[in-house]
Structure 1
Amino acid sequence: MASRTTNNNTDPNSRQARIAEMRRADQARERRMKAIAITVSTVIVAGLVGFGAWVLIDQKQTEKRKQQALEKLLKEQQEIRKQPVEGEQVWDAKKLGRNHVETPVKYETNPPVGGDHHPRWMNCNGDVYKAAVPEVNAVHSMEHGAVWVTYNDKAAQADLDKLGTRVEKTPYSLMSPVKEQAGAIMLSAWGRQLTVENADDPRVAQFFTKYVQGEQTPEPGAACTNGLTK
């Protein structure tokens, strides 16, 4: 009986062809992956560049709006400062004494609006004092450009709360009681004084805008901290 012989030999040309085809397929796949990666990277980079440009433009627009708002505010303040405050009393600021003394001073008005005063000022960086403060020190604060808000027992607590909030937000201002003053609420600056009945009087805001570090200030920019605290 004749036996069947199995041929285990492989055609070398056929095997090399398959290997070459596999390599070509791998290379084509690598090229496709690289192309996809490059495309995705390009899109991402373009997106980031576009986002960065948008952020930069938005920041510039925001800064421009802030600058315009600031310029508008300054212009409005300048206009307010040009207008007199209705009902205010005015003294010649240049004729008010400015000597530093450590002896009692008798002032013509209560509260005073200027004159000789103690070498040390009251802290006036938005300070609200619950008790009376020495006049000679508060006058020194006004010499530095502070507005001094004072009140007596006739002032309503709601008005005092509103005024206290305003003072606390305003550098170069202070607030304290003056029991013997004539008006319920009085605002004083160097050579200027205004009496109002309540905190909602629009002249209050005008007085602050006009006289906090205003043109009447003998020593603009001088300190309102590191002074007397009570």
Structure 2
Amino acid sequence: MPEPAVRKTTKQQRAEARAEKVRAHQQQEVARKRNRRIATVSGAVGGAAILALVITFVATATEPLQRPQDIEIEGLKEFSNLPATHIDPAPVDYQKNYGMAVPAGGDHSQIWLNCGVYNEPQPNENAVHALEHGAVWVTYDPDTATDDDIAALRNAIPDQYTILSPYPGQPAPFMASAWGAQIEMDSVSDARLAQFVDRYWKSANAPEPGASCSGALQGPGLVA
């Protein structure tokens, strides 16, 4: 008799769904880069060369894509064993308690910040609750970031389950944070931002993956 199928846990199902989304995102990135490069050379080379270029990119697009948890990110900071207690209305000193210049987890408000694009700083405790739901929080130093930088960041991150906001005094021009993880960047063109999103956006390893990122607190300065 055939062995009965093993029923997957909710966490396993979420992890598989998350991996599928990341694979789709990676495939879209491959196609976007392929089309851009083909367009760049199309005016300067003949049809045979273009055909060869297309074949090359099609071949590379069929290569196995990484699982989110296997993506290695240079300079990644990780924070383990973070508590997730609701502490309203007391504020949290994330620098003192966890060594975080920009919060990437820990105790937080029971009310999450709605994901979106903001042009004003956001309350730490509410933003951290959004990270608990699997959001990625991208922050920039408002004293150095230009309008073009901010536009580039908006284009580089998904429309859902992300927060983009200024963070005065942060230690790097640009930063990306998820629950228990963080990177610092000097430029909006840093390739690690895409890697970070692929690994942590809507991650099944967040404490409450799949919980809502809307319908709660709308912070000041909402743009989109």
TM bracket, shorter-chain basis: 0.5 to 0.7
**Contact 1:151–1:176 under 8 Å retained in 2:** yes
Shift in Å at residue 117 of structure 1?
0.5
Distance 1:221 1:142 in 2: 11
What does residue 110 of structure 1 align with? 101
Greater RCO (Cα-Cα under 8 Å, separation 6 or more): 2
Which range is displaced more, 158-167 or 193-202?
A: 158-167
Distance 2:77 2:146 in 1: 23
Distance 2:66 2:132 in 1: 21
Q: Indicate the structure with greater helix content.
A: 1
**Contact 2:174–2:186 under 8 Å retained in 1:** yes
Moved over 6 A (4+): none
> Structure 2, unaligned stretches of length 5 or more?
1-22, 29-62, 220-224
SS in 2 for 1:227: coil
Shift in Å at residue 170 of structure 1?
2.9
> Structure 1, unaligned stretches of length 5 or more?
1-68
1:218 and 2:204 matched? no
TM-score (norm 1): 0.63
Shift in Å at residue 215 of structure 1?
4.0
Distance 2:91 2:164 in 1: 22
Find the partner of 1:160 among 147, 150, 153.
Answer: 150
Shift in Å at residue 76 of structure 1?
5.9
Residues 198-220 of structure 1 show CA distances to partners (whole Å, capped at 9, x for unaligned) of 12111111111110012431111
SS in 1 for 2:67: helix
1:208 and 2:197 matched? yes
Distance 1:72 1:146 in 2: 18
What does residue 71 of structure 2 align with? 83
Q: Give aligned-pair identity as a percent.
A: 38
Find the partner of 2:114 among 117, 123, 130.
Answer: 123
Distance 2:114 2:169 in 1: 22
**5 Å matches for 1:63-74?**
70=24, 73=27
**5 Å matches for 1:183-198?**
183-198=172-187
SS in 1 for 2:87: coil
SS in 2 for 1:186: strand
Rg larger for: 1
1:227 and 2:213 matched? no
TM-score (norm 2): 0.65
